[in-house]
Structure 1
Amino acid sequence: MTYDQIRNTAPCGFEHCRKKRKLKAWHVLLFFVADMTIFLFAGSYVQYYLGMAGVAITELWLLASSLVFVWLMGADFRMTFPIRKPRPLALAGTLVIWVGGFFSVLICNLVLLVLFPQGMVSNGETFSVILNSVPWPAAFLVIAVLPAICEEAMHRGVIQCGIQNSIHSKWAVVLIMGLLFGAFHLSPVKFLGTGILGAVMSWILLSTDSMVYSSFFHFFHNGLQLVLLMILPGVLETSFFGASAFQDDLMKMGSALPVYALGLYMAIFGTAVPILIYVGNWLIRKSLAPVKPAFLPKGKEKITLCKILIPTAAILVTGILITGYGFSQMLASMIAK
């Protein structure tokens, strides 16, 4: 066999591999803007006229557009959507981090409930109307299952892949992803809470290099709230601990939550956030790292304790001050009467 006969042919058993394109930040940001523009001009109408079915359609659109975008860009699907077999201890760590994230969102929503009670109540009422329009299994599928797949494919998949390829600071990636996830929900009232959750899920992906854990976080968060809404109607209508039976009276008072109650919630729940986040991260590292890490890194015990105790003390002091201010306001109003 001459050289001319085998020229331009591949060796037997080998495939000609096309080099995959790496997604960049500007690629995925353009994709995000395009998808959000389509949603504003089309998706919002679909949801308005079709209700829960419209929500399902827009969720599936996020998944389809993400897959098509990766295909058109010639990017590697495995790199864009990293999926690995989950480990029980890492899932447990994800749940612990979720508790810390949930407490953080709880405090943020309570702050907004004090500052903007009307907006928080209206948002909860709209959500309840949509939920009551379909059977519970359908609501669970659309609210808990689909976002954990479709929204994660877009945010932790396409967008975070491009951001990570362009920005090498983990904290910068987490901040950007939180801002984009907050903006994605198109609600000023929900921006801060969803932004925190988006940042936490992006950190989990950075820590595990697997979308399984961030999707599990997303699924558990949405699913638990839905279950609570079904079991205890009205409990979450004002975005956590808002008593729907007293909404009218509270609105007349000018706030849906007393200021001192905000301080108490911050002192009780907020102080648990730093240790919960740390423990959750430690469990994930213990599950995935080849060498099991100590709870407090050797030689850095004092520094690590300071990283936990300083923010805990700051939150506690803030909660106490807010509680004191709230009680002083209440006493002043009682004396004035």
Structure 2
Amino acid sequence: MIYFLMQLIGALFAGPFCLLYTYFAYGTFDMDKAGQIAVAPTMLLGFVFMGLYLWRKNYLTGDKHLYSPVSVPYLAWSLLAGMTSICIIGLLMSELTFLPNLLDQTFDILQSGWLGILCISVLGPVLEELLFRGAITKELLRRYSPAKAILFSGLIFGIFHLNPVQIIGACLIGFLLAWLYYKTRSLMACILIHIMNNGLSVYLSLKHPEMEDVTHLLSNPYVLVWAVVFILLLLLSLKQLNKYNISDTNTTTTEL
């Protein structure tokens, strides 16, 4: 709820200025035009207020492991796990085309300018990781067993997106991100995977608008083969990640 509250506050700040802009730019108060212009500034201000809230609550400064670097091999396996998860989710969602995309127009507006692209690709992933892994998952791990905390974290992350076409995929990637955070207490791998996911989505939307996700780059006759390859690579990467002791973060991994 706090995330949406901060976005609402951002809208209250950005809205009047965008409305004034339409008056000076077009000679009239155009609510529709102002609404479109305000989407990216609202998102940016919401992120700023969210960051301030997390800072005030000591979530950004109270944990020395939060920004700790992880070893290069661990990071490489994490990115492989993230990339294969993104592809598997893409294949799954390609079979669930009946799910509506309620935010399609909003994303189109955001991706029409550099500020919106920056918010989706970089600022959003960073702030969401600080909130969902650095704050929510951290608190869940204090209250529940690791398995329950990761399950609850992924479900919360998925439901938070509200958009039906995003919920399932967000839940699944949320499980992975929560597990990676649990293993290291560092957000580095989580943030990079999140940026990779959102960045790929924006890139495909702008450069290949006919494609829904990265899996559409694959040859259709071999989709099942690719699915098996992705699953095997994901299992391999998870197995390797579960073995690691992350010396860079002074964190010893444990079996889940």
- Do Structure 1 and Structure 2 share a fold, with TM-score over 0.5? yes
2:29 paired residue number = none
Q: Is 1:97 paired with 2:84?
A: no
2:91 paired residue number = 107
Q: TM-score, normalised by structure 2?
A: 0.74
2:198 paired residue number = 222
SS in 2 for 1:86: coil
Q: CA RMSD in A?
A: 3.1
Relative to structure 1, is the Cα distance of residues 241 and 105 closer, same or farther in structure 2, using a 3 angstrom cutoff?
closer
2:107 paired residue number = 127
Q: Is 1:180 paired with 2:160?
A: no
1:121-170 CA distances to partner (integer Å, 9 max, x unpaired)? Answer: x64454223211x13xx3442112112321111111111111001112x2
Q: Distance in 1 between matches of 2:3 and 2:105?
A: 24
1:16-31 maps to which residues of 2 (within 5 A)? none
Q: Distance in 2 between matches of 1:130 and 1:40?
A: 15
SS in 2 for 1:84: coil
SS in 2 for 1:51: helix
1:148 paired residue number = 125
8 Å Cα contact 2:90/2:215 also seen in 1? no
2:24 paired residue number = none
Letter in 1 for 2:137: Q
190-199 vs 35-44, which deviates more?
A: 35-44
Q: Distance in 1 between matches of 2:8 and 2:119?
A: 21
Letter in 1 for 2:74: A
Match of 1:56 among 44, 49, 57: 44
Question: Unaligned 5+ residue runs, structure 2?
Answer: 16-34, 248-256
SS in 1 for 2:70: coil
1:165 paired residue number = 142
1:25-47 CA distances to partner (integer Å, 9 max, x unpaired)? Answer: xxxxxxxx3x0451575456768
1:199 paired residue number = 175
Q: Distance in 2 between matches of 1:58 and 1:76?
A: 20
Letter in 2 for 1:60: V
1:6-32 CA distances to partner (integer Å, 9 max, x unpaired)? Answer: xxxxxxxxxxxxxxxxxxxxxxxxxxx
Question: Unaligned 5+ residue runs, structure 1?
Answer: 1-32, 243-260, 291-337
Q: Distance in 2 between matches of 1:222 and 1:199?
A: 17
**Structure of greater Rg:** 1
Q: Is 1:278 paired with 2:235?
A: yes
Q: TM-score, normalised by structure 1?
A: 0.58
CA shift for structure 1 position 194? 1.1
Relative to structure 1, is the Cα distance of residues 240 and 217 closer, same or farther in structure 2, using a 3 angstrom cutoff?
closer
